Each structure stands twice: as structure tokens, then as C-alpha cells.
Amino acid sequence: MEGRSVQLDDVWQAVLGEIEVSLSRGSFITWFKNTCLLKQSEETTVVGVPNVFIKHQLETKFGDLIIDTLRKQGASVNQIEYKTTPLASRSRVLGEENEGEQPQLTTNVIHQSEASLRQSSNGLNERYTMDNFVVGDGNELAFAACQAVLQQPGIKYNPLYLYGGVGIGKTHLIQAVGNALQVRNPDAKILYIATEQFVREFVMALKKRSMAAFVNYYRSADALIVDDVQFLADKDKIQEEFFHTFNTLHQADKQIIMSSDKPPGDIAKLEDRLKSRFAGGMSIDMHAPDFETRCAIIHTKAESHQAELEPEVVEYLATTIQSNIRELEGALNQLLAWCEVRSLKPSVAIASSLLQVHKARPKHISAKQIIERTARHFQIPLEDMLGPKRDKDIVVPRQVAMYILHEELHLSYPKIAHELGRKDHTTAIHSVRKIAQLSQIDVSLKNTMDNIKEQLYA
Amino acid sequence: MKLQVTQENLNRALSSVARIASSRGTLPILANVLIKTSKNRLSLSATNLEVAITHFIGAKVGDGGAITVPARLMQDFIGSLPEGVINLELEGTKLHITTDQYQSVVNGIIADDFPVMPTMNNGSSWKMSSGVLKKALQQVVFTASSDETRPALTGVLIRTSEGELVMAATDSYRLAEKRLGKENQNIELLIPATSLNDLLRIIGDSDEEVKVTHNEQQVLFQVGDIELVTRLLEGSYPDYQKLIPKDFTTTVRLKRADLISITKISGLFARESAGSITIDVDTEKKKLSIRSVASQLGENTATAQASKVTGGGSITLNSRFLLDALSAMTGDEIVFGFNGKLEPTLLQDPNDLDYRHVVMPLKS
């Protein structure tokens, strides 16, 4: 039975695939979503549809199209029937009817949602600990701050706000703090929540009118850890609720830890009072790990998998994947799994063949692309970039372009100057140095350049 | 297509159908209304694929034809025209609308692209007075659930039970049931509550009979010149009968208006606590009082005199559910009965035993 329905699904998927291209998207979604093939035999073909309106439409308007397409798939169709089935495809795949809804008039809103909230654990993943967090240049400060928080939770660095790019260990670090706090004080109510989940629960609470339970749940926490607070942007009502929760906890000297991809001030559409509160404790920028740190991370991760890696392999991985630890971990897992299945010893050759897709620096990027992309990012015409103008709003982008040319393509200074229509190579030397210095101090400039690079390699 | 129609008729028809035409869907034509001639009449139809409404109006038809035009625009436009005769003429997909003072052209989409309007060729039918149906709908439909994860509860059950027609709905926290008198046919329909709200709107103040025709998949309501077809929900409805309590340890009989006013007042102090109010019944003093506490704002106790009390005790309810239930009833007095803090409570008009309203208590 199951084998057959899989086969029917395949046929129907093929039919839908073909119909999809011959109809407008709106029509296709409206009429063919949640349809399925229930039966296909010499005599009869039965198509399951979600409701009677769709049934009429398929019968009268799309009947011929469906029959033709089915025949093209090699099915013999004599008679076609349309049958309304609730949530057509789903119930059949599960192999059961949606029957017997039990009366459940016995519990009530508040207590249900409260119970379900309580049942869920504190949200922390025990995999993340302070011990397996690899400390390097980029995250030293953040790590130290977290240790200080562990010494005196709620007193020093409250709130603690960590920010930085994707996959550099923010979540790991804040979860590790949560886990450590929980270990030290098993009875404490340590809550870890992703902002997106906070938003979802808030909406749920509104809908079920169980706001009080929601509010109490969060305000009674001994430590609140919130991941990705930038997602609060643009959600006024939730910001207000978060603001009150924040205040309640902060007043009571409960530790609050947050992570985000930008500093508090840079989150657009975040209320000022929240911005100032987020920044009121300690905000720390976390950077992508340097080469040595990446090597150390690979060692730690490999150890946790009880695998041994040759130093060359570690170095190869660390060089190939530079910015994102999550990708690094993924690549490592992929390599280890591949080798384990085939009982091979991980080597640079295997790694390089596996990580083709991960090659972080494709060589096909030209100087011209970099200059164009930079010009587009700063929204100035390409001619101005290459022209003689020396207004500040053109000079800076030009210098940024030179810096990226230097960093990414390793072009010589005379060549860089030439690409941007400058005669003197010392201009290029000066520009590259200036931007290199500036990007150390100016976070927004660094972010800008990261953005441009991301777009280049996207 | 070429015809003449009065502004009053066209406006009336547009206001019954245009509301279900929605521009939010994936199919743009669903935001349109289908205008179609049939003999010497004009029909206007709209659908959202759950429910379809068609309104027939009289018109002087020169040439027959059909077109779909944006419903909102048409409704707003025709609504603001002065009373009088309107000329409609179709050229290609452009509908020319002219009166003495206005000349407009509305771009339409050809009628062939419009979803097929469902027809009912077979099925059994019965009739009922629109007043009775309207009151029953108003008393029952609002207790249906809006939670799509339990589709059966988003519907209203209309069925015959022991030779009587019964309408019921529940969202699993409260339940309303209305008995509508004798009916010989065997009926069991689960109709989406949203469709019945559309039906309520169409019935309006009409005093004509409503003809109901149904088969396994859809049901058609005919009210005068208006037809509403809605799909039926599938799945079985919970056996709600056994949830309605029959005996009570505590019953209170009092004036409905008194209970409404103290519930409203207590509700003000219960906004923070999800509407939670506690009802105390005092047997000796024959009084019912409601307590509510707002931790930040303060608290309130309001008391009403009861005409008859058996047993005492207290119970916590959601003030909004209580108020909804009281507002759905019409009599002067109500009887409120409950069994301890956790069992379902029942509200009933002692002079209208056909309507029963069950509210679940909150745990306090």
C-alpha cells in the first residue's frame, strides 16, 4: 500500500510539475495546492482535492489539461473523478483518517499554555560549554566578560551584549554561560530564547489571551539569555513588552545576556530607550577568528568526534574556510563522515575534493567587478570612480576599492593604480594603508567592506 | 453586453457580494465580481473559494454577456453615484458605465477566467424563517474556534437529533447549543463559521424564508434574490452533548442585566489577568458577587441580588466569555449553575430552554 502511494505521489508530482509551467503562478497555487492522486488504474483515476470549489474548477476548466498531462506521464486514463478529501495529501501519507476528534472541554487557556511553557526546558543546549569554546584574538574580550558574568551574575556587565557576524560563536558563548550558570545553581531559572521564538510566543499569548502567563514566565527568570535581538526591529508592541521584561529583570539584578549581528545603536527601527538600555552594560564586538584560532577550533571539534587529523589537513581547512565557524564545523563533519564511512584517513586530497564548493576565494573575480561593485555599493557612478574628481564622497570609495583589490586579488600597487585610472602607484600605497588603519577603528567601514566582499562572492 | 439597471439595485447587489471578493489571495481575479446577464436579469457573483455569493437583480437587458471587474472599485463607485438609471456597455474587456452625469470605463478581466460558480443540481432541502435562523446564528456562531489546527471546531454543526434541528458550536473553552424545533429529515452539516457570518450579513433584516439545500460537499442558502453556497467541513464533530452538565451543586437565578453590569465592571480590573474573575455565591444573603484583582491597578468586588440560590461556593471564569454568553441571550432572567471549581458551568434563560451556553472555568 505504501509503495503504491509513493508511486502515485511521483506520478502526481510529475503532472504538477508540467501543469505548473503552463499556468500562471496564482492559478497554479490556487487550484492545485494540496491536491493529490488517490487512485490510478485502467478504469478510473481519482484526484483528491481540498474543497468543493476546487473540485468544480478542476472538473470544468482543467479536466482536459489534467487528463492530457497524466497520459503524457504514461498513465492510461479513461474516467477521471475528483474527490474532496480533507488536507488531501497529508492524511493519506500518514495512512490514517482525521477521525474522532476527542472533546477537550476540560482545560483552559492560561493553564494550557503555561504548562506547555514550563514543560519546555530552559532552551539551552548542553553541547555548548565554556570549556569547549576556543578563545582567540577575535573573541578574547567577549570570553573574559562572560567569565566575569559567571563570577558575579547580575552585578558586573549587566546587560552583556555580544555582537558580530554570522557563525563566529555568539550563540555558543551565550549558551555556554547559561549552562555554566545552571550548573552552579541548579534551582535557578535560566532562560535561553531566540528572539524569533519570543516573538512567536508573544503572538500566541495575545491570541490565546494568556498574556499574564507569558509575562510572568519571563519576568520570573533568574537569568535571561536572548539570541539575535536584531529581530526585534520593527515590532513595536513586542519591543514594549521586551522593554518591561528587561526593566523588571534589570531592577532585580538578574543577569541579561543578548546577542545580535550589529551594535545596539545600529539596529534600525529599534526604540531609542531599548537601544540605550542594551548599550547600558557592556557591548562587545566579536570578530571572525584568525588562522591560529581556526586551527584550534578544528582540533577541539575533531577531538569531540574522537578523530585525529594531520596538521596539514587542519591547516588546509583553516585556510579554505576563513570567516565562518559554522561552515568550518560543517566542512569538518563532512570530511570526517566521508572518511569514516570508507575507513580512510582524512587527507588534504580528500578534503580538497570534498570542499570544492567551499573554496572561499574563487579566482574568477576581476578587478573590474570589484570596482563596479564598490561603486554600486556607495551609489556613485563608475565614471566618477575612475575619473579625476577628488570629492570626499568619491575618494573614500575609490580607496576602499583599492584596498579590496589589494586584499582580495593581491595586485601590485602600480596595477591597482592603473585599474582605477591613477597615474601614481604611491596613491595606491597610501590608500591601502589608510583604509587598513581605518578599518581597525571604524566598525561601520569594516562592515561595509565585508558587505561588498560578500556580494562579490555571492 | 449592453443593459440598463438602477443604481439602487446595482448598489444593493454589490454590497452583498463585494465583501467576500478578496485581493489578498494568490489569484487576482478573486478580487473581482462577475457581472452576467441571464434572460432579463443580471447576476453579480463573488467567491473566495470557501463561499460564493450570487445576487440577482432586475435589469433591462439589450445584449447579453459577462465580464468581471474589480469589486472594491465597483462598490465604491456605484455607491457614490446618485440614484437613477445606469447604462452598462461592454467593449472588449472594458466596461463603460454611464449615467447622465458620469462616464467611466472600468478595465475588467474576461469572465471565462472566473472560477466556476458551484451549482446544486441534487440534494435535499428544507425551509426556515429568516428571523429564527438569524437569531440562532447570532447566538451560536461566535463560539466556534478560529484555530485552524482543529478544523472541525472552526465549523458550526447543524444536525437533527431526536427529531429536532439543533445548531451547536464550540472552541473547546465554551459551547453554545440552540434547538430549532421539529425536523423530519436527517441532517448533519458542518459549516464553516466564517461562511455563516457572511450568511448573517446577507439575511440582514430580511423577513423572507430561507431555503437550505445541501449535499455531501456543499450547502446552498437562498434568501430572496441572493444565493450563498459554502463548502462543508469534513471530519467528525466531538460528541459535545455529554459535556453539557445536567445537575448542579450550585445554581443562582438573577436578573440578566444585573449580571451583565457587574461582569463588565469586574472585567475592567481583570484586563491584566486574561479576564479572570471570581464569582462567589452566598446562599444566606442570596447574593452573587464578582471579585477581580489587577495587581498593579487595584481590585474590585461587585455584588448583585439573586432571586433564588441553591448551594454556595465560588468559581473563576473569563469575564469576556461570560459577557459574550450573557449578551447572546435575550430574556430578563438567567440561571447560572456550576459544580465545584473545575467542572463546566451552564448559563440558561429560564424562559427559553432551547438555548444552552456552557463556559469552562479557569483554574484559580
Confidence (pLDDT) at A357: 52
- Tell me if B274 and A209 make a contact (CB, 8 A cut-off): yes
Strands A36-40 and A44-49: antiparallel
State the pTM of this model: 0.56
In angstroms, the separation between the Cα of residue B193 and the nearest Cα of chain A is 16
Element (H, E) at A31: helix A25-32
Domain boundaries, chain B: 2-113, 124-242, 244-359
Mean pLDDT, residues A295-300: 84
Residue tagged 585525529 (cell numbers): A308
A295 plus A281 within the same structural domain: no
A412 lies in some domain: yes
- CA distance linking residue B47 with residue B9, whole number of Å: 20
Helices A325-341, A311-320: crossing angle, 10 deg rounding: 140
In angstroms, the separation between the Cα of residue B187 and the nearest Cα of chain A is 19
- CATH number of residue A32's parent domain: 3.30.300.180
Q: Which residues partner with A38 through β-bridges?
A: none
φ/ψ bin of A165: left (φ > 0), alpha (ψ from -120 to 50), beta (otherwise) = beta
Mean pLDDT, residues A323-346: 79
Q: Quick one: closest CA in A to B28, which residue?
A: A26
Confidence (pLDDT) at A119: 31
- Domain span at residue A33 reads 2-94
Q: Quick one: closest CA in B to A91, which residue?
A: B235
Mean pLDDT, residues A421-446: 86
A214 pLDDT higher than 90? no
- Tell me if B358 and A109 make a contact (CB, 8 A cut-off): no
Over its C-alpha atoms, chain B yields an Rg (Å, rounded) of: 25
In angstroms, the separation between the Cα of residue A88 and the nearest Cα of chain B is 11
- CA distance linking residue A419 with residue A439, whole number of Å: 22
Q: Name residues 80-109 of chain A within 8 A of B (Cβ).
A: 84-86, 98-109
DSSP A241-308: HHHHHHHHHHHTT-EEEEEESS-GGG-TT--HHHHHHHTTSEEEEE----HHHHHHHHHHHHHHTT--
A177 plus A192 within the same structural domain: yes
A315 lies in some domain: yes
- Tell me if A109 and B28 make a contact (CB, 8 A cut-off): no
Confidence (pLDDT) at A86: 64
A110 lies in some domain: no
Pick the most confident of A339-348, A358-367, B23-32, B218-227: B218-227
A103 lies in some domain: no
CA distance to B73, B125, B217, per residue, from B122 (Å): 36, 9, 11
- Tell me if B235 and A98 make a contact (CB, 8 A cut-off): yes
- One digit per residue, the tens of pLDDT, for chain B of length 364 reads 999 999 999 999 999 999 899 877 778 899 999 999 988 899 999 999 889 999 999 999 999 999 999 999 999 999 999 999 999 999 999 999 999 888 999 999 999 989 888 888 788 888 999 999 999 999 999 999 988 778 889 999 999 988 999 999 998 889 999 999 888 888 999 999 999 999 999 998 888 899 999 988 899 999 999 999 999 988 888 888 888 999 999 999 999 999 999 999 998 888 877 788 999 999 999 999 999 988 778 888 999 999 999 988 999 999 999 999 999 999 999 999 999 888 899 999 999 999 999 999 887 6
In angstroms, the separation between the Cα of residue B285 and the nearest Cα of chain A is 31
- CA distance linking residue A360 with residue A294, whole number of Å: 15
Report the range of poorest mean pLDDT among A119-133, A208-222, B62-76: A119-133
| pLDDT confidence tier of residue A121, bands split at 50, 70 and 90 | low
- CA distance linking residue A290 with residue A322, whole number of Å: 8
In sequence order, the 6+-apart residues with CB closer than 8 A to the CB of B238 are A101, A102, A103, A104, B152, B153, B170
Question: Which residues on chain A are in Cβ contact (under 8 Å) with B52?
Answer: 53
- Tell me if B152 and A101 make a contact (CB, 8 A cut-off): yes
Q: Which fold has domain B2-113?
A: DNA Polymerase III; Chain A, domain 2 (3.10.150)
Phi, psi of B171 (to 5 degrees): -110, 15
A249 plus A300 within the same structural domain: no
A312 plus A381 within the same structural domain: no
Which of these, B191, B194, B203, B205, lies nearest to B227 by C-alpha position?
B203
CA A58 remoteness from chain centre: 39
Note whether B223 and B130 are within 8 A (CB). Answer: yes
Show the cell assigned to B18. Answer: 463585494
A118 lies in some domain: no
Query: Beta-strand (E) ranges in A59-200?
Result: 79-84, 160-164, 190-194
Question: Which residues on chain B are in Cβ contact (under 8 Å) with A61?
Answer: 116
- Tell me if A61 and B116 make a contact (CB, 8 A cut-off): yes
A280 plus A313 within the same structural domain: no
Report the range of poorest mean pLDDT among A110-119, A266-275, A327-336, B211-220: A110-119
- Tell me if B344 and A111 make a contact (CB, 8 A cut-off): no
Give the ipTM of the model, two decimals please: 0.74
> What length does chain B have?
364
DSSP B113-144: GSPPPP---S-EEEEEEHHHHHHHHHHHGGGS
CATH of domain B124-242: 3.10.150.10
Helices (H), A406-442: 413-419, 425-441
Whether the domain at B124-242 and the domain at B244-359 fall into the same CATH topology = no
Compute the mean pLDDT over every residue in chain A, rounded to the nearest whole number. Answer: 80
Q: Quick one: closest CA in A to B23, which residue?
A: A26
Q: Report the number of distinct structural domains present in chain A.
A: 4
Which one of 3.70.10.10, 3.40.50.300, 3.40.50.720, 3.90.1150.10 gives the CATH number of domain B244-359? 3.70.10.10
- CATH number of residue A341's parent domain: 1.10.8.60
A150 plus A276 within the same structural domain: yes
Give yes or no for a cis peptide into A159 (omega within 30° of 0): yes
For residues A367 and B202, the model is more confident at: B202
Which of these, A360, A359, A294, A361, lies nearest to A329 by C-alpha position?
A294
Write the residue in B116, B361, B362 that is nearest to A57 by C-beta: B116
A275 plus A152 within the same structural domain: yes
A307 plus A235 within the same structural domain: no
Give the domain-ending residue among A256, A286, A316. Answer: A286
Report the range of poorest mean pLDDT among A89-98, A237-246, B227-236: A89-98
In angstroms, the separation between the Cα of residue B103 and the nearest Cα of chain A is 33
Note whether A233 and A195 are within 8 A (CB). Answer: no
For residue B252, which amino acid is it? V
Helix or strand or coil: residue A94?
helix
Phi, psi of A7 (to 5 degrees): -60, -45
Note whether A298 and A328 are within 8 A (CB). Answer: yes
Give the domain-ending residue among A251, A286, A321. Answer: A286
- CATH number of residue A394's parent domain: 1.10.1750.10
- Tell me if A209 and B239 make a contact (CB, 8 A cut-off): no
A345 plus A384 within the same structural domain: no
A223 plus A297 within the same structural domain: no
CA distance to A382, A397, A408, A415, A417, per residue, from A424 (Å): 20, 18, 21, 10, 6
- CATH number of residue A217's parent domain: 3.40.50.300
A50 plus A177 within the same structural domain: no
| pLDDT confidence tier of residue A221, bands split at 50, 70 and 90 | confident
For residues B37 and A334, the model is more confident at: B37
CA B199 remoteness from chain centre: 7
Question: Which residues on chain B are in Cβ contact (under 8 Å) with A111?
Answer: 362-363
Confidence (pLDDT) at A113: 33
- CA distance linking residue A22 with residue A323, whole number of Å: 43
A389 pLDDT higher than 60? yes
A168 plus A240 within the same structural domain: yes
A117 lies in some domain: no
Confidence (pLDDT) at A343: 74
